[in-house]
Structure formats: C-alpha cells, structure tokens
Chains A and B, each alone.
Chain A
C-alpha cells in the first residue's frame, strides 16, 4: 500500500514499493537501486542514532554530491533529524559558522574537508576516505562501515511538521541565514515541482546543481517522489554536461542561467546530434539573458525539449513558473514575465499600504502556500520581517497564518501574469548564487588589511551581476595590498564571493546617518 506523503522517507517507501530494483541514483560508474537506498539509509540512520543523534538534531552533510550525500539526507529524515547540506564551495570559516549557528554536533564529510576544520568543531564526524588525522571531531566513524551496519530497529514517529532540513542562504548580517524547512515543506515542494514537470518513473533526471541550494535539492526530491533515476553531475564544465546528457539519455535537467551559457557553448555538437531524449529543461535562480534563451530555444526546441522558467526564493521554495507554451512572454519587450503561481500556491502583489495592488501597479511579491518555510533558524527578528501574517486574511483568522514577503517588486496584468521589476535590498546575484554585500565586505575586512569596504553588484548578462568592491586600506603604504587581500579572500571564501574588481579610496563616502553610502558608491561606479 502506498503511504500518504508526509515525510521524505514516505516518498522512499512508495518508490521502493513501486519497483525496488529500479535505479534510484547513478554516481559516476556506480548504480544504486531503490532497494539499496532503503537498506543503506536505514544502516546509516542506525549509526547516527548510535552516535547520539536525537529527534530534531541537525546533521551536517559535508560530503560532496555523491551516493553518500543522498543516503545521508534520507538517513537523517528517517530518524527525525534535520539534514544541513553544506555548500561545497564553503571554506572552513563558513563551515564552522554553520556548525555553530545551528548547533551541528554530527557531520558526514569527506576527509580532506574535515581536516580543514578547527579542533572540536563537532562531536562526531562520519568520514569518507582515510581516517582523519586532525581533531575536528572527538570521535570518528567510517561512512563505508556505517552503510553496511544493521538497520534501524525502531520508528521514531516522524511527522510532516518536524524540521526536515535547514537551507542556508546569504544573509544581510554578513553571515548566511538558515531557512528552517519542515518535512511538509520538502514533500509539498516535491509534489508541486514534479506535477509541473510531469515526472514519471521513466524519467532520468540530471542533478547539475549543488544539493545545498533549494532548487538543487529539488531534483533529488522530485526524482524520489516519481520513483525516477537521478544522475549526479559534479562537474560544471560544458564538456562533462554535454557528455552526461548524451550518455545517460537524460530526460530532465534543471539549472541556473550560467549553466545554460555553458551548454550553448556546445552549439556545434548540439546541432550535429540533437538531444532527442531531453523532455524538459527548467531554469531557476535568475533571468536567462535573452540572447542565450533564444539560442537555447533554437538548439533544443526542434528536438522536442520544453523549456520551463521558474522563479522562487529559498524562504518559500518555488513561487511561480512560466509554462513552455507561454515562454515568449518572458522577453524584456514583454516586461520580464515570471509567469503565474505554481500549483497549490497563491501569489499576492501587496502595495506599500498593505493592500492588494491593482493590475499594472507595482507591489511586493508575497507568497502564500504550503511551501512557506518555518522561518530563519535562531533569528527571530529576520523571521518577523520576512514571514508576516497574511495581509489579506479575514479578521477572524488574523495572525494564524504566515506568508513570505519576497523583497521583489512585481506587477500583475489583467490575465494574472506577473512581471519582475526589481529588488528592494542590495542582494547580489552572481553565477546563480544570491549573495549579500555584507558577506563580501566581512570577508575582505577579515583579511586584516581593510579599513572600510563597500560591495555591490553591477549588471553583467554573462554572470548575472559582477561583484565589485570599493575599500579603504588600514595601512596606506602597503604595495601589493590588493593582491594580498584577493589571495586572502580566495583562500577563505567561496569563488562567487570574490570581487571581480577591488578599488581603493582614501575614505568611503557616508550617508547622513554616518553609514557607508552603498547607493552613492554604486552609482558613481556605474556612471564611470
């Protein structure tokens, strides 16, 4: 009997019941069935229980995208713990921050990554590879052994309102914020996306995005729900992408705009050998430059591929999508249409007075529905700002339901289509990553050489926005200071956080209230 879909592992149960021998995950040359996924996630779950993981605890997943990473998520889910997938590009300072922020005591990680961490970052580390020499954890367990152990004995009674995962996203305090996401949020997200894309057990889905990114986790959850096969791709180089699409006869791929810029580099091969198996391509995480979208359509649509454009924010998973047959609406001439609400979701356009904006009038995109997450982990102030009572609820139900204020300004037309106008905050979109300027500034200041820093984004269709930083130095005499700062940043931050340009000024301009004038500095830069 199929189970009602309440938790991530209910999805596994149903896929297993449908066809235990079907391939669940393909990682390089290794192939794993749903039966393997059931057995090994049970074994790892039992090992996590032995390591003292209680219901509600957070388990850090530091292994790169792999079979073990997939098993880790399900193992955590089965014992009622929340998995925290860590950005593979994070360096030790960001990982240690995450471990401390949501109190991660147990991690599952690759040995080289574990060796970078400070002593006692966690209690127990499950390592993949050689046993670590360092003291990042008090005790170590070999993942390979844990996957072979006895399975779970007791059911912990996990429900849909339990914490399922924490998704870290860039925060304006200068450090990442954790979006606490329930089992229900994860499962409903999978239901919505798999119904939009029409996923079936016959699908061969490519996982090209990182698993720590909500839209990247989605290929795993939708594939699991459909009982389809997930192909893990770690490389982001166009040759590997092209070969994976062909070799595995991929039927569905989801990515962010820079990935499509890489795909269309292979135009010659795509014309010579069209991707006849590719049923759909879905974009998320920003707008595809129009020239690239036109090229993608030319290369893929004749072979039958449908292109879906999606819009979402981690705080509420997915919000809108533009169906393939309406794709022409997305052009800048038509006003950057982002489509309509995804199924089971309501999108409101709310003006400054808190009322529903009239058609054509700008307002903030407000998301209402079952993917609205629980809030920011350990950050009540930020939670209250983004997760607010439904402004259109009847007075009798005021303050019983939270909706997400996206910070994006949109309009809605008479037909209900939404159009993106801009963002209210200073978030930078670089290579598909959402990045707060404060995080870049903190990274530069942490070098010890920088007095003041101001970071901002400058439009560049190839990457979304370039990161630019204007700084003043602590010690004006130092030749080669910029090189040292850049090297520090590269060693201590993920690549997308490294400014393309670092400009030095004697002092940074301030606003009336004495804050660094980011708007003024940005305007001065863009106006040359």
Chain B
C-alpha cells in the first residue's frame, strides 16, 4: 500500500509510537538519534518500513543522521522521493 505524501509525518510517528517509544508520541522536530530515542537497528527497521509504505528506495549514502535526525527530516526525504 502506498500512502499519500501528506501522511508521511503521521505514518512515521505512528511507526515510532508502535515500535520504539512504547506508546509515546514524538514531536516532529524531536532529535531522534542525537537524544538516543532510536537505535541504529531500529533505524534500519524504519527504513524497511518507509520503503514498503511509500514505495521508495533509500540510497546507501542517504541513510545518515542528517536525513534521519527527526520526523521532519525523514518526512522531507520521503516526500522528495515520492514527489
């Protein structure tokens, strides 16, 4: 299933709530890697989710802290690809 672009932030936050934060919703600008919210292995799982959900491909060198630092950053990456 491919979700529409506008849903990127909600989809990412929903995934984090379910798989990472134990039910807590995160802010769009919360620092996910720097503040240790998400481990690198959870980030790998998130990439798999994004690729399935949005039908995109995250390139090797895009899989970095700049693109995965916050929900906003991840959504920007996803939207740039799905556009």
Rounded to whole angstroms, the CA-CA distance of A88 and B40 in the bound complex is 14
Contacting A431 at CB < 8 Å: which of B37, B41, B62? B41
Contacting B40 at CB < 8 Å: which of A262, A269, A490? A262
Task: Check if A490 sits within 8 Å of B21, measured CB to CB.
Answer: yes
Number of chain B interface residues as a range: 20 to 34
Counting residue pairs across A and B whose Cβ atoms lie within 8 Å, the total is: 70
Query: Is B33 part of the contact surface with A, judged by Cβ < 8 Å?
Result: yes
- Known interface pairs A235-B65, A238-B63, A487-B21. Does A262 touch B39 (Cβ–Cβ under 8 Å)? no
Query: Is B22 part of the contact surface with A, judged by Cβ < 8 Å?
Result: yes
Stretch at the interface among A135-143, A239-247, A317-325: A239-247
Task: Check if B60 sits within 8 Å of A268, measured CB to CB.
Answer: yes
Rounded to whole angstroms, the CA-CA distance of A57 and B24 in the bound complex is 41
Chain B, range 47-72, C-beta contacts under 8 Å to A: 60-65, 67-68
Query: Is B80 part of the contact surface with A, judged by Cβ < 8 Å?
Result: no
Q: Considering only CB atoms and an 8 Å cut-off, how many residues of chain A contact the other chain?
A: 30
Contacting B61 at CB < 8 Å: which of A269, A485, A486? A269
Task: Check if B22 sits within 8 Å of A237, measured CB to CB.
Answer: no
Contacting B44 at CB < 8 Å: which of A89, A242, A265, A480? A265
Rounded to whole angstroms, the CA-CA distance of A441 and B14 in the bound complex is 28
Q: In chain A, what residue has the closest Cβ to B65?
A: A235
Task: Check if A237 sits within 8 Å of B23, measured CB to CB.
Answer: no
Query: Is B36 part of the contact surface with A, judged by Cβ < 8 Å?
Result: yes
Residues from chain A with Cβ under 8 Å of B64 in the complex: 235, 237, 239-240, 243
Query: Is A520 part of the contact surface with B, judged by Cβ < 8 Å?
Result: no
Residues from chain B with Cβ under 8 Å of A236 in the complex: 39-40
The minimal Cβ–Cβ distance linking A371 to chain B, given in whole angstroms, is 29
Query: Is B28 part of the contact surface with A, judged by Cβ < 8 Å?
Result: no
Which of B37, B38, B40, B62 is most buried by chain A, counting CB atoms within 10 A of its CB? Answer: B40
Contacting A262 at CB < 8 Å: which of B38, B44, B65? B44
Query: Is A67 part of the contact surface with B, judged by Cβ < 8 Å?
Result: no
Rounded to whole angstroms, the CA-CA distance of A238 and B24 in the bound complex is 26
Residues from chain A with Cβ under 8 Å of B39 in the complex: 236, 431, 495-496
Rounded to whole angstroms, the CA-CA distance of A496 and B37 in the bound complex is 11
Per-position binary interface string of chain A over residues 481-503, scored 1 when its CB falls under 8 Å from any chain B CB and 0 otherwise: 00101110110001110000000
- Known interface pairs A431-B39, A495-B36, A496-B39. Does A486 touch B23 (Cβ–Cβ under 8 Å)? yes
Query: Is A375 part of the contact surface with B, judged by Cβ < 8 Å?
Result: no
Query: Is B43 part of the contact surface with A, judged by Cβ < 8 Å?
Result: yes
The minimal Cβ–Cβ distance linking A9 to chain B, given in whole angstroms, is 32
- Known interface pairs A487-B21, A490-B22. Does A237 touch B41 (Cβ–Cβ under 8 Å)? no
Chain A, range 458-509, C-beta contacts under 8 Å to B: 462-463, 480, 483, 485-487, 489-490, 494-496
Query: Is A290 part of the contact surface with B, judged by Cβ < 8 Å?
Result: no
Rounded to whole angstroms, the CA-CA distance of A265 and B44 in the bound complex is 9
Residues from chain A with Cβ under 8 Å of B67 in the complex: 239
Chain A, range 266-324, C-beta contacts under 8 Å to B: 266, 268-269
- Known interface pairs A237-B64, A239-B61, A243-B61. Does A487 touch B36 (Cβ–Cβ under 8 Å)? no
Rounded to whole angstroms, the CA-CA distance of A242 and B65 in the bound complex is 12
Rounded to whole angstroms, the CA-CA distance of A236 and B68 in the bound complex is 11
- Known interface pairs A243-B64, A269-B60. Does A237 touch B33 (Cβ–Cβ under 8 Å)? yes
Residues from chain B with Cβ under 8 Å of A237 in the complex: 33, 40, 43, 63-65, 68
Q: A262-B40, A431-B39 are in contact. List 11 more A-B contacts (CB 8 A).
A: A89-B36, A237-B33, A237-B68, A238-B44, A239-B62, A242-B60, A462-B41, A489-B22, A490-B21, A490-B24, A490-B37
Interface residues of B (CB under 8 A from A): 21-24, 33, 36-44, 60-65, 67-68
**Which 3 interchain pairs have the tightest Cβ spacing?**
A486-B22, A239-B64, A239-B63
15 contacts between A and B (CB under 8 A): A235-B33, A235-B65, A236-B39, A237-B68, A258-B41, A261-B41, A262-B40, A265-B60, A266-B60, A431-B41, A483-B23, A487-B21, A487-B23, A490-B22, A494-B36
Interface residues of A (CB under 8 A from B): 88-89, 235-240, 242-243, 258, 261-262, 265-266, 268-269, 431, 462-463, 480, 483, 485-487, 489-490, 494-496
